[in-house]
Structure formats: C-alpha cells, structure tokens
Amino acid sequence: MILNKKDINKLDKVYKINLINSIIGAKSANLVSTLSDEGVDNIAVFSSVIHLGSNPPLIGFIVRPQERRITDTYRNIKYLKKYGICSISSKMIDKSHLTSKKTASNESEYKLFNIEKDYIDNFPVPFAKESQIKIGLNFIEEKFIINKCRLIVGEVEIIKINSSITKSGNLNFEQLDGITITGISTYNKIKNPKEMPYVKSK
C-alpha cells in the first residue's frame, strides 16, 4: 500500500489516528498520576512518554492542545509541579484504558475505576499500586509544538522498581510484564527482549 498526503487527508478520522500512531511502532504504555489543588488525585493513560536525557535524568510526555479544554493532568502538573509515571502490566490494561475517559475534575479515576494507590516516601502524588515501575517527577518546563500539543518535561526525583536491575542498568520488561501501545488503543505484551552491548564512539 502507498498513501500520499492527499490519500492520508481523505482517510476516516479514527482510521487515520490509528494509522499514524501505528507507523512508528510500539510505544510504552504508562499512567500519569497527578494531584489537584483541591486534593483530588487523577490518573490517565498516555503512550507518549519518552526519555530525554540521563544527566540530569529527564523524561517527557505529550499532552494534547489545551485551548478548548484544560485537562486535569495538565492543570494539576502546572499547579503542584509534581507528578508520577506508572508502568502498565497486562492485568492493569482494562482499568488503565478506562482512564482515557473524560471525567469531572472533582472525580478521582483511582476511585472511579478501583485503582489501588501506593505512596513512596514523602512524594506528594500517589502511584498505581499494581505498577511494576513508579517514577516521581518534578516539572521543569513545557515546550509548544506546531500542532498546539505540548511537551511536558520533568526531572526524575524518585524511582521504585519491582524487579532486579541488570549489571548494565537495564530492566527486563518481559519479567516486568511490560505493555506497549500501537495505534490509540491496541495493547501489546513485550516478549523475548535481547540486550546488546553498548557501542562506544571512538
């Protein structure tokens, strides 16, 4: 199949969203957890989390345009400056997917979808207890993208991992029951990961 720009623009909306999201391959499936100024905790599924650097340790993710409706995730991060990223395992898929539903700001997805909470040390934002990897972040900045989406950049403050780390610092996502997303709502298990040696430049 070959599709040019004209062909792409003619595609059904949902079909096009799935296609464009799928052509880059599988993306990590995560929940972003936040806390509002009224003490309401929010958690929502994202497939746009990316590594931005290790020194300092920076992680980014994309939020949709906020002009029509300011999302709870965005509002809460700008308020508290702290948020959590939680990995999704296979037994969490059904509940995690429900968090993509738009809900009232005074409603907690933790409560609505029966997601058990976990707290790490004194970090103010809860995490999904079933998550195998929990990351607490401090908001650093946001970058505006041409389509009005925003890249949220955070520095890692705390990590909790329910697995041993390899000598090289890697994680085995098959053991962690890691999940990826293709399209906008297709969940995939990670199988048979192969770790290769780090290639140094001369």
State pLDDT tens for residues 126-178.
999 999 999 999 999 999 999 999 999 999 999 999 877 888 888 989 889 99
Sign of CA dihedral 17, 18, 22, 26: positive
Q: What is the pLDDT of residues 120-139, one digit of tens each?
A: 999 999 999 999 999 999 99
Q: Using CA atoms, how far apart are residues 169 and 165, in angstroms rounded to an integer?
A: 6
Distance set, CA 162 to CA 36, 132, 134, 165, 173 (Å): 27, 5, 9, 9, 11
Contact call for residues 38 and 50 (beta carbons, < 8 A): no
Backbone angles phi, psi at 125, to 5 degrees: -100, 135
HSE-up (13 A, CA, CB side) for residue 103? 20
Tell me the pLDDT tens digit for each residue of 58-69. Answer: 999 999 999 989
Mean pLDDT value of segment 15-28 = 91
The upper half-sphere exposure of residue 165, i.e. CA atoms within 13 Å in the direction of its Cβ, equals: 8
pLDDT tens digits along 69-123: 999 999 999 999 999 999 999 999 999 999 999 999 999 999 999 999 999 999 9
Q: Where are the beta strands (DSSP E) in the chain?
A: 27-28, 30-35, 41-46, 50-54, 57-63, 82-87, 117-118, 127-128, 133-144, 150-161, 179-182, 186-189
Question: What is the pLDDT, as a whole number, of residue 71?
Answer: 94
The CATH class of the 26-189 domain is mainly beta
Per-residue pLDDT, 118: 97
